[in-house]
Amino acid sequence: MKTEPRKTPSLLLKNCKPIGGIYTGNEQSDLRIRDGKIAEVGSGLAPAPDELVHDAGGHFVSPGWMDMHVHFREPGQEHKETIHTGCRSAAFGGFTEVACMPNTTPPIHTRDVVEYIRNVASGEPVAVHPIGCVTKERKGRSLAEMADMKKGGAVAFSDDGDPVYDPAVMRTALEYSSMLDRPVINHEEDLALSRPGHMHEGSISTKLGLEGTPSIAEEVMIARDLLLAELTGGHIHVAHISTRNAVQMVREAKAKGIRVTTEVCPHHFDLTHEEIEKRGFDTNVKMHPPLRTQDDVDAMIEGLRDGTIDAICTDHAPHSIEEKEVEFIYAPNGIIGLETAWSISVMRLLEPGHLTLPQLLEKFIRAPREILRLPVPALEVGAEANLTLFSTDETWTYTEAVIRSKSRNSPYIGQTMRGRATGIYHRGIWVLNEL
């Protein structure tokens, strides 16, 4: 059953476990929302006549989660995803805010497009923050109107899947974005080294006869960007990091005081390049950066544990069935990830003891917002209610029937999951996530 979001100024969550701020998640309480704000937290709160009441069944409630790297495809590619269906998918995954990448048609390279996206998303329960292009039309030659886009609401700048290849352009972008107090997010890839790769370069690619993308293609570009960030004082954010050496480079740069942050996707701390052989060239395990080795997966977990990797994001990249159901080498890169990110994080990070629950929530709540200079929602009386309701132990199956995205390109369909976002409350709207 798919429950539609409903405007709910007053809501009483019974039997929830608040976690965040002064709340540790160890005690069961009730939480009352009045006029979109947290009005009361305590035990045995009696429902008011005008309140919607939801029994949380002992689930946790935290400040709302944020995914700082999604692709909602609108404008121009609405056959894959729309802002509405993307927000629906985000809500099901527990996210109350997202930042959308600029590889739309037209790209997000002017203030008009930034404002268009914000206007379309204004009535959604999920806030959509546009990321503007670094260069005009994402062509890598001349800077886009970054200051104007910031005025329109752009929270960062990126050319997304097209790396800013010219070092002089990147230097100028870092200098200028520093004055605007916004990060530059780069897809770290040296195209001369990576193309025409279709998977990680290694023993499996050789065995399967596929052109591979070597780890060094990511690492060379990161090395360049770290040097430029050190030179300019700008803030470089490394998108979807995926190799052990890349994590070590960021670790060392942070120790030197270079302004660098980074993110990792759940599939890069869960799956390896062996999946391509195991699944018989399933295009739903084709993404960029590609799935890499078990050693790289281990390095992602180590980086999350020691704080080198700041945030967990999804790189949610919807593609139509027609686009994905082709030969492996012709299929576009990317998978949907908003709806499974929490479950994969619980199973791969929380349950094995790599991260505590507060540490894991930090990657979903505070880190992405601090990177993008956005306010971090508070779980306290008087604060605007921006909340995620979730479990860490509920078992459920991710089937096509429960998918909220417009697309179905996930490697996790049919998999039994543990941990689920069971609802969100944001902008005065309550979304109950029923299976």
Percentage of the residues of the chain whose pLDDT score is greater than 90? 98
Q: Which residues contact 191 (CB under 8 A, 6 or more apart)?
A: 163, 165, 217
Residue 1: per-residue pLDDT: 45
Q: Determine the average pLDDT of the residues in 322-341.
A: 98
Among residues 123, 128, 31, the alpha carbon closest in space to that of 372 is found at 128
Which among 75, 3, 15 has a CA at the least distance from the CA of 43?
A: 15
Q: What is the rounded CA–CA span in Å between residue 259 and residue 100?
A: 22
What number of other Cβ atoms are within 10 A of residue 164's Cβ? 29
- HSE-up of 43 (CA within 13 Å, CB side)? 2
**Which tokens hold the place of 332?**
């576009």
pLDDT tens-digit profile of 186-235? Answer: 999 999 999 999 999 999 999 999 999 999 999 999 999 999 999 999 99
Q: Is the pLDDT of residue 335 over 90?
A: yes
Q: What is the mean pLDDT of residues 118-141?
A: 98
Angle at 20 between CA 15 and CA 23, to 5 degrees: 60
C-alpha–C-alpha distance, residues 382 and 298, integer Å? 42
CB 129 within 8 A of CB 99: yes
- Please give the pLDDT value at position 2: 60
* Cα(345)–Cα(82) distance, integer angstroms: 26
Which residue of the set 225, 270, 310, 315 is catalytic?
315
Q: What is the pLDDT of residues 102-129, one digit of tens each?
A: 999 999 999 999 999 999 999 999 999 9
Q: What is the pLDDT of residue 114?
A: 99
Domains of the chain: 6-61+381-432 (2.30.40.10), 64-371 (3.20.20.140)
The answer to whether residues 427 and 127 touch, using CB atoms and an 8 Å cutoff, is yes
C-alpha to C-alpha distance for 282 and 208, rounded to whole angstroms = 13
The C-alpha atoms of residue 223 and residue 408 are separated, in whole angstroms, by 35
With a pLDDT cut of 70, the percent of the chain lying above it is: 99
**pTM value?**
0.97
Q: Write the pLDDT tens digit of every residue in 277-325.
A: 999 999 999 999 999 999 999 999 999 999 999 999 999 999 999 999 9
Q: Is 166 a catalytic residue?
A: no
User: What are the pLDDT digits (tens) for 229-271?
Assistant: 999 999 999 999 999 999 999 999 999 999 999 999 999 999 9
What is the Cα–Cα distance from 6 to 430, expressed in whole angstroms?
A: 6
Cβ-count burial of 128 within 10 angstroms (0-12 exposed, 13-18 middle, 19+ buried)?
Answer: buried
Q: Give the three-class secondary structure for 212.
A: strand
pLDDT digits (tens, 9 = 90+) for 401-433: 999 999 999 999 999 999 999 999 999 999 999
Q: Is the pLDDT of residue 27 over 80?
A: yes
**Predicted pLDDT at 149:** 99
**At 6, is the pLDDT very low, low, confident or very high (cuts 50, 70, 90)?**
confident
> pLDDT tens-digit profile of 349-381?
999 999 999 999 999 999 999 999 999 999 999
